[in-house]
Structure 1
Amino acid sequence: MKYQSVAILGAGAVGSYVMWGLAKKKEIDLCVVASGERKARYERDGFVINGQVYHPAVRTPEEAAGVDLLIVATKYQALRPALGDIQTVAGGHTTVMSLMNGVDSEEIIGEVIDPSQIVYSLIKVASERKGNQVVFDPETTIGIVYGEADLSRGTGRIEALNDLFAGTGLHYRATDVIRTEIWSKFRLNVPNNQAQAMVGCGVGAYRDSEHVAFLRDRLREEVDRIAEKKGIDFDKADTSSTFGSKVRDRARYSTLQDLDAGRHTEVDMFAGAVVRMGRELGIPTPYNEFTYHMIKALEEKNDGKFDYE
């Protein structure tokens, strides 16, 4: 088995990391999926990644249909609107990877394609948008982690992914406990992304402020209680899953980057999901519930909903 054609849906920070690596493999057919004005803009401007401009092929979902591998890297709020495109691109033999945050994107994608086409995965890349470009440190990036949710499927797809990523500069590894690895990332994202977003500070505050650290720890504890009820054993995850990519104290994770830029965040995938699962399992989640409404209020403030000047 070999992946010879690859499509990326979602050309933000995560998609740019994958594009940066796979662009080195001239023998594969690499494209970005887009339509309309977005397609025209991508074709005109390309993608500026670590100071270099990349011009991959840009194809509509219909043009990309039937690729060997589809990598989904959209924002969470864009996933459901993109389900039609995913269904169009993913032919019967297409493997789909979702490099999104959260713990339910594979389940959502599985609503429109055969769930057996999905290889579960996650990515850890600390990147920043600076103007129209994406910047990250390739050396300190932890990278892509993937595995079969059902180990009885064998190793064919995993070996093909190993071959695809080899020699690209991308950091990657396979795992036999991918669901646990995904939850381990969720356990990092929920507290670390959200506490700093509410305060509006760099990650160094987790070390320097007992109050910011307090918020982080309470958010994490609620995730831990839900994970325990769901039977997630974090001890089975690789030790690298207990931390994120190395960043400077001034670093602002994706939720705060979105608020800084006036964009809506992925809070529904973080605090929103924790609150929803907590209600389903009868587990109180007061800190995540407060955080959900706080970040939603900050989004509304950015939107000008209560600008009374």
Structure 2
Amino acid sequence: MIQSVAVLGAGAVGSYVIWGLSSRNDIRLGVIAEGERAVRLKKDGCVINDTVYHPEVWAPQEAHNVDLLIVCLKYGSLQGALDSIKEIVGEHTTVMSLMNGVDSEEIIGEKVGESHVLYSLIKVASHKEETGYYFDPETTIGIFFGELQAPHDSDRVRAIEHLFQDTGIHYFSTEHILAELWSKFRLNVCNNLPQAILGAGVGCYHDSVHMKAISDGLRKELEAIALAKGIDLTKAGSASVHGSPVPPSARYSTLQDLDAGRHTEIDMFSGALIRMGKELGIPTPYNEYTYHMIKALEEKNDGKFDYTGKINKRTCSK
């Protein structure tokens, strides 16, 4: 039985977990934070769908040996958080990573031991506004989790099913968690990245044959790599093949990051596929172009191409 849950990363993904588990009065629920962030969370709580939630706030050492650690970080923050994760994980701690991508479990497992990691993913169309985080609980697809090997109906799988039961969290235990992870990865790469370059809502894939062609090119490269790694994407369930319903104006996480002037998770998406493609001898030209374009857009946000007031002597004439 799970009696204590720690959430590392109280952003768009972590908010869904906090929202759901706050309804449980029989567990301790805490957010991992230190310094000014911890002070702010203790004072202001977490605003989710216009409601203020006040989970406990724990430093990593205070959360040591928690029953369940749910990692909801942005990819770029993971390396810096590994020591904290190791400090939290005790002998009986299970770790679920709800991060995007397909390699966070391996990275965490190398730090704390693979036996602690239960593979998982989340599909939630959550976004941040000035007043907090927002998502539609009814249309959210939810959390998938499962063991890599039999027995798939393990004690910890049953414990997490019991934890999520009657919380409002949508959840699915599966025998094909790798196929589910790569199915979500495919959605992110094919739907998240092209719109980020264009700067338009997801309706662009329906309304433009050119955007669809880019998306299809990214898809073919990813599916070739998955096939070479022995991952059968047809095993993914129907609930995970598509994302949560969104309007044509929706802007996924990569474009949200660029809109806000933040660096993206492109290293986890096309960056990872380029690396795997090189290891497997599979060309990835669509992903290479997409990677460099989004990196250039990050540089633009950083002000690298602000040439206002600068004179290019080579192009000026008297």
- Establish whether TM, by shorter chain, passes 0.5: yes
Which runs of structure 2 are paired with 1:1-309 in the superposition (5 Å)?
Answer: 2-152=1-151, 155-309=154-308
8 Å contact from structure 2 (residues 50, 131) kept in 1 = no
SS at match of 2:145: strand
SS at match of 1:262: coil
Q: CA RMSD in A?
A: 0.9
Tell me which moved more, 170-179 or 34-43: 34-43
Equivalent AA in structure 1 for residue 290 of structure 2: T
SS at match of 1:32: strand
Structure 2: give runs of 5+ residues left out of the alignment: 309-318
Distance in 1, Cα, partners of 2:149 & 2:287 = 31
Distance in 2, Cα, partners of 1:185 & 1:153 = 20
Equivalent AA in structure 1 for residue 274 of structure 2: V
Note the C-alpha offset of 1:154.
5.0
1:139-169 CA-to-partner distances (Å, cap 9, x unmatched) read: 1110000001122475111100000000110
Distance in 1, Cα, partners of 2:14 & 2:67 = 17
Tell me which moved more, 236-245 or 161-170: 236-245
SS at match of 2:52: strand
Distance in 2, Cα, partners of 1:154 & 1:238 = 17
Distance in 1, Cα, partners of 2:251 & 2:153 = 39
Note the C-alpha offset of 1:300.
0.9
Equivalent AA in structure 1 for residue 139 of structure 2: T
SS at match of 2:223: helix
Equivalent AA in structure 2 for residue 138 of structure 1: P
Distance in 2, Cα, partners of 1:290 & 1:277 = 16
Note the C-alpha offset of 1:64.
1.0
1:59-79 CA-to-partner distances (Å, cap 9, x unmatched) read: 100111110000000000100
**TM-score normalised to the size of structure 2?**
0.95
SS at match of 2:283: coil
8 Å contact from structure 2 (residues 152, 175) kept in 1 = no
1:83-123 CA-to-partner distances (Å, cap 9, x unmatched) read: 00000001111000000110000000011111111110000
Structure 1: give runs of 5+ residues left out of the alignment: none
Moved over 2 A (4+): none
1:220-257 CA-to-partner distances (Å, cap 9, x unmatched) read: 11101101111111111111221011111110000000
SS at match of 1:70: strand
Identical pairs, percent:
61
8 Å contact from structure 2 (residues 146, 152) kept in 1 = no
SS at match of 1:100: coil
Equivalent AA in structure 2 for residue 115 of structure 1: E
SS at match of 2:205: helix
Note the C-alpha offset of 1:132.
4.0
Distance in 2, Cα, partners of 1:14 & 1:71 = 10
**TM-score normalised to the size of structure 1?**
0.98
Distance in 2, Cα, partners of 1:42 & 1:215 = 41
1:265-302 CA-to-partner distances (Å, cap 9, x unmatched) read: 10000010110000000000001001101111111111
